[in-house]
Structure 1
Amino acid sequence: MNIPSSIDLPTPPIGQNVEAAIQALLRADAVCFDVDSTVIDEEGIDVLAEHLGKGQQVSELTLAAMEGGMKFQEALAARLNLLEPSQQAIMECLEAHPLKLTSGMADLVQVLADQGKHVYLVSGGFRIMIEPVADVLGINPRNIYANTILFDDAGKYAGFDTNEPTSADMGKPKALEIIKKLGNYETMIMIGDGATDAQAKPPANAFIGFGGVAVREKVKKVADWFVTDFSDLLQVLQYNEK
């Protein structure tokens, strides 16, 4: 494996094709991140469910979706129908429990931006909850691909937008196809913790699995490179600056 010795990676690094993933990261012009349990250190919908007093039921559905045992669109519809979150309830949830960035995330996004790499958030979560996270990271809201909860005129839950690519299974590869076409990108990376993130290669040139919040064995087995700390990616990118 031809990884420069000056890059201090875990020994041995974990993944199906670590060298290819590192080289892809070095030359990437677009880096796409999952949000829940990747950019943030929890599952946004579970936070909302706890706030609404329905944490256990929703957590079980979230786990089924992340482990790949339930089609994503089925889990999404089931969870939202259970919660029926109003716009006010979501705002109150975010005020009471601001979503927290995973350790190293802010530094990683800054380095990517400094190197001219475009950063996208591609999530099966909800745009209304992700936009404040993107704002903290300095990511343009146009670079968010996520699900849109619909509300009626009174702010009550009225379903979700099924036209969003991330609203159904295999939605992340569809979102990355759109990103690639609109940005005319040559090399794209997908980074995430779940089975739906692994699906994004292709069109992603490499899939980096993240286990810093939750280790999912199915994801670990298929990832080109599997990391548990964003410092590994930072070390690679900083080597690129030398």
Structure 2
Amino acid sequence: MLVVFDFDSTLMDGESIDILAKRYRVESAVSYITKEAMEGKLDFFESLTKRVAFLEDMPLSLVQESIQNDFHLMNGAIECVKTLRNRGHVVVCFSGGFRIVTESFKDTLGLNATFSNILHHKDSKLTGKVGGEMMFGDSKGNMLQNLQGVLGLNKSQCVAIGDGANDLSMFHYADIKIAFCAKEILKQHATHCIDKKDLREVLNIVP
């Protein structure tokens, strides 16, 4: 099976953009937009570009410092991914966050691949611009469709796990849809809901 995890607030305990914003001391401006976006009250593309703009001129060295010190994996994340891989599943993450973060944790988690966005930088500072494959509200669904085509899989062979409104699109292409400590908008479309912050609970659902 193909198991797709969201990254922020699923594999990672927190939202990457909020964590970076706190390190750069623009947290209050960014966190409100994040909350509205994850509840489905704002267009994801618009909210993402607005939030990243607040990171303009943030030194890359400060970004790396934040990744090393401020980011913490969700309880049970490593064990969950390892066990799923041992059961023969392909495990990937789709993130509306940033490749510089997801790739930093790819090997630690044991993921097959990560798909996320790129924080543009110039002269060792962020420009406040972002681009990539997870920029829109339907990006995760489109990517899951693409992977199904490449791997020759159908909905019955796919699991989607997330917490926010931008995970809805991938729920449409998976028979097992797990809302993990999720916003109400996602719970309404889930086949399973986990309200305990421990990803090992997933192992009781995914065979």
Do the two structures share a fold, i.e. TM-score over 0.5? yes
* Distance in 2 of aligned mates of 1:33 and 1:196: 12
Q: Helix, strand or coil for the counterpart of 1:189?
A: strand
Preserved contact between residue 61 and residue 75 of structure 1 (Cα < 8 Å): yes
Report if aligned partners of 2:158, 2:176 keep a CA contact under 8 Å in 1. Answer: yes
Partner residue in 1 for 2:125: 156
Q: Percent identity?
A: 30
Aligned residues between the structures: 201
Within-5 A mapping of 1:163-182 = 164-182=132-150
Any residues of structure 2 matched to 1:189-208 within 5 Å, and which? 189-208=159-178
Corresponding position of 1:24 = none
Match of 1:235 in 2: 204
Residue 30 of structure 1 corresponds to which residue in structure 2?
Answer: 2
Secondary structure, aligned partner of 1:102: coil
Q: Is the 8 A contact 1:172 1:196 kept in 2?
A: yes
Match of 1:183 in 2: 151
Q: 1:149 aligns to what SS in structure 2?
A: strand
1:221 aligns with 2:193: no
Does the alignment pair 1:69 with 2:16?
Answer: no
Q: Which structure would you say has the larger RCO, counting Cα contacts within 8 Å and 6 or more residues apart?
A: 1
Offset, 1:219: 1.7
Question: For the pair shown, which has the larger CA radius of gyration, 1 or 2?
Answer: 1
Give the partner amino acid of 2:43: K
Structure 2: distance between partners of 1:160 and 1:122: 16
**TM superposition shift of 1:88:** 2.2
Instruction: For structure 2, list consecutive stretches of 5 or more residues without a partner in the other structure.
Output: none
Counterparts of 1:137 and 1:51 in 2: how far apart (Å)? Answer: 24
Contact (CA 8 Å) 2:137, 2:169: kept in 1 or not?
no
Deviation at 1:232, TM superposition (A): 3.0
Moved over 6 A (4+): none
- 1:6-45 Cα deviation digits (max 9, x unpaired): xxxxxxxxxxxxxxxxxxxxxxx10000011110111111
Match for residue 87 of structure 1 among 48, 53, 60: 60
Q: SS in structure 2 opposite 1:124? A: strand
Structure 1 residue 209 corresponds to structure 2 residue 176: no
Q: What secondary structure does 2:173 align onto?
A: coil
| Partner Cα separation in structure 1 for residue 9 and residue 83 of structure 2 | 20
Once the 2 structures are TM-superposed, how far is the Cα of residue 189 of structure 1 from its aligned partner?
A: 1.1
Which residue does 2:85 correspond to in 1? 113
Q: Is the 8 A contact 2:77 2:200 kept in 1?
A: no
In structure 2, C-alpha distance between the alignment counterparts of 1:138 and 1:176, rounded to whole Å:
19
More strand by percentage = 2
Q: Give the whole-Å Cα distance in 1 for the aligned partners of 2:202 and 2:60.
A: 36
CA contact (8 A) 1:169 1:196 kept: yes
Kept after mapping to 1: 8 A contact 2:37/2:47: yes
* CA RMSD between the two structures: 1.6
How far is the alpha carbon of 1:112 from its aligned partner?
A: 0.7
Q: Which residue of 2 aligns with 1:25?
A: none
Superposed displacement of residue 165, structure 1: 2.9
Q: Which amino acid aligns with 1:233?
A: V
Is the contact between residue 171 and residue 189 of structure 2 (CA under 8 Å) also seen in structure 1?
A: no
The answer to whether 1:145 aligns with 2:115 is: yes
